[in-house]
Amino acid sequence: MSSTNKYEISLGKSVRILDLDKSVDKFDIVIDAEKGCWARVNEEDIPIVRLLLSKPIYIDEFMQTFPNKVSVIRDLFHSGLLCIDGLSRYSNNTVDTCKCIEKEQLIIVVNMTEKCNLVCSYCYAHSEENRNALFSDEDIVCYIDTVYRNLQSTRYLTIVFHGGEPLMIYHRLKWIIERVRGISSSIRISVQTNGTMLTVEIACFFKDNNVSIGLSLDGTSSISNKNRIFKSGASTVNAVIEGIKILLLVQNDFGVLSVITPQNTPYIVQTFDALIELGVKNFAFNFLLQSESAHSEIKEIDYRQLASAYEDIACRINDINSMRDYKDFVSERSTTTLIRSLLHQEQSICYCTPCGAGTQTIAIDIKGDVYACDCLVGHKEFYMGSIYDDFKVASLSPITILGKRVINMISICRDCPIRQLCINKCASDSFYRYKDVDHPHSLCKFSQILIPKLMNLLTDKRLNPDFFKLS
């Protein structure tokens, strides 16, 4: 057939139609598994997608065959899926969904102590080794000073004081923070605490020294928070809530970190609502790392229930922030990260492959040994040196098995159409379960359920990206 318009339109070989539950959804998600580009397509228009997948077609031929479907190819083009004469909307024909936003940052997690006043059932922050040899406070300050002077012209430095429970040795922590602040006011300092030992005096010290706080709480009831208890067996909820009230009173910069377990999955939204009412603005729902050292058997999480909870929380954040100034926005880390991914924005170091372990973040144990990641402290495979030897931060290089770990090298991930958008790529999840880094994340099913839900919410404009802290 003679054609006046010689432009050909087509969909690439890596474009897939997601397999969705048609009893619920009357549409399909079309996605490019290599680029991560995606678009929602009405079920009635899927024959057009299948035609474009089968062969290129001239634009005028398409117009003659589907005169009322110009909007379909327009949407496919603007999403980056449709190619015109082999070229997509993106000039380089790719979308880098795994580009890190923190390349100029180094995060050092300093594990101050293994002592803790709680017995959390899933805690991995301990070891069976003899821990009599501890780094001195003077030595860790000297190390931080050396690192800062080596990096100050090229990278930002963040120090996270961790444990155990750092507030059990508050006198040491206070001394170290004062000296780190003497090195530079530009060093970012954070303390991760269970919140049960906070006082107004401690909160004021943190505020005066520009120290941000991560506070751990899995739920606001004894049931949802049952994995975090005192050594006596008593619930920690009331003590942690009192700690939150102190931080709100003093106006500290803080966020609440919750570990997602089968026990608290049914109560996530309830916990979110209760803490919002209390005045909390920053959240992070972290997924359980199940290790051999866990003190109880962990059963599998209900992924559909968890995905529904995240969907509800995303809508709640959208609606709350639509009525607030940006400085008062509510944020949940995983939700924000997923939306960034769906919008093809750069990601933080923990959501990329290779990740930033060993290059953009390191962890120091209580002996002064250095590891590639705080989640992997104590495992010899990820040992990098010591603060007492010639270990030089300026020449950081990734541990080989982490540096070579990219998502396309994992067979199950390589065949997954949402692999470029999935944020669950942490190597430690694989290592804790299988003692290698060659397995996909345990939350694959969760991602496969939640990502299409968020795609729908964004397409329907139920979620407005302007109401999320994406920058």
pLDDT interval class at 295 (50, 70, 90): very low
pLDDT value at residue 98: 55
Which of 6-20, 38-52, 81-95 tops mean pLDDT? 38-52
Q: What is the mean pLDDT of residues 282-300?
A: 67
Average pLDDT, the chain: 90
Q: What is the mean pLDDT of residues 14-18?
A: 95
Examine the pLDDT at 4 and tell me if it is beyond 60: no
Examine the pLDDT at 396 and tell me if it is beyond 90: no
Residues above pLDDT 70, as percent of the chain? 90
SS3 readout for the chain: CCCCCCCEEEECCCEEECCCCCCCCCEEEEEECCCCCEEEEEHHHHHHHHHHHHCCEEHHHHHHHCCCCHHHHHHHHHCCCEEECCECCCCCCCCCCCCECCCCEEEEEEECCCCCCECCCCCCCCCCCCCCCCCCHHHHHHHHHHHHHHHCCCCEEEEEEECCCHHHHHHHHHHHHHHHHHHCCCCEEEEEECCCCCCHHHHHHHHHCCEEEEEECCCCCCCCCCCCEECCCCECHHHHHHHHHHHHHHCCCEEEEEEECCCCHHHHHHHHHHHHHHCCCEEEEEECCCCCCCCCCCCCCCHHHHHHHHHHHHHHHHHHHCCCCHHHCCEEHHHHHHHHHHCCCCECHHHCCCCCECCCEEEECCCCEEECCHHHCCCHHHEEEECCCCCCHHHCCCCHHHHCCCHHHCHHHHCCCCCCCCCCCCHHHHHHHHCCCCCCCCCHHHHHHHHHHHHHHHHCCCCCHHHCCCC
Q: What is the mean pLDDT of residues 224-238?
A: 94
**pLDDT tens for each residue of 80-124:** 999 999 888 875 544 555 555 556 789 999 999 999 999 998 886
Least confident stretch, 36-40, 62-66, 126-130, 460-464: 126-130
pLDDT value at residue 218: 96
Examine the pLDDT at 162 and tell me if it is beyond 60: yes
